[in-house]
Amino acid sequence: MSDDKKTLEELTFLNDIYYHSEHTWARIEGEQVRVGITDFAQDQLGSIIFIEIPEAGDAFSEGDEFGQAESAKTVSSLHMPVSGEVVSVNPEVEDTPETVNNDPYGDGWIIIVKPKDMDEVNQLLTRDGYINMLKES
């Protein structure tokens, strides 16, 4: 497997999710928000070998570090896109962290949160806003 990073055009950005500037995503699912890391983030990290995630019941504020993703090259903090309580964690990413590389928006989700204030989602970036932020950095 090569260490080559993809161009923005080669990465996947979905319209039905919101993006945090620290490279996590949020998908509204009723009264809950599913959270993972973006395709850009997993591509930058390379092959993920370990993910440290919180336990159900842990509460965080927007922007707080809720875990870490470790690759052979680096360790990166995972940041909460919205304030709230973790209601579920994805055991698959603990057992097979490469799932995040293979399917960051699907099976590679990390946690589900019961938001303190669903309106915080409106502070997140849209697909186009996130892509523009990446182009400017």
The pLDDT, as a whole number, for residue 3 is 55
Contact 27, 111 (CB under 8 A): no
CATH code, domain carrying 131: 2.40.50.100
Nearest to 40 by CA among 107, 132, 115: 132
Is the residue at 50 inside a domain? yes
Contact 120, 83 (CB under 8 A): yes
Rounded distance, CA 24 to CA 134, Å?
13
Q: Domain count for the chain, please give it.
A: 1
Is the residue at 8 inside a domain? no
Is the residue at 6 inside a domain? no
What is the pTM (predicted TM-score) of this model?
A: 0.94
Rounded distance, CA 116 to CA 109, Å?
20
Is the residue at 4 inside a domain? no
Q: Tokens for 89? A: 């964690």
Is the residue at 57 inside a domain? yes
Is the residue at 2 inside a domain? no
Parent domain of 91: 17-136
Average pLDDT by stretches of 10, the chain with 137 residues:
76 97 98 98 96 97 97 94 98 95 97 97 97 95
Is the residue at 11 inside a domain? no
Is the residue at 111 inside a domain? yes
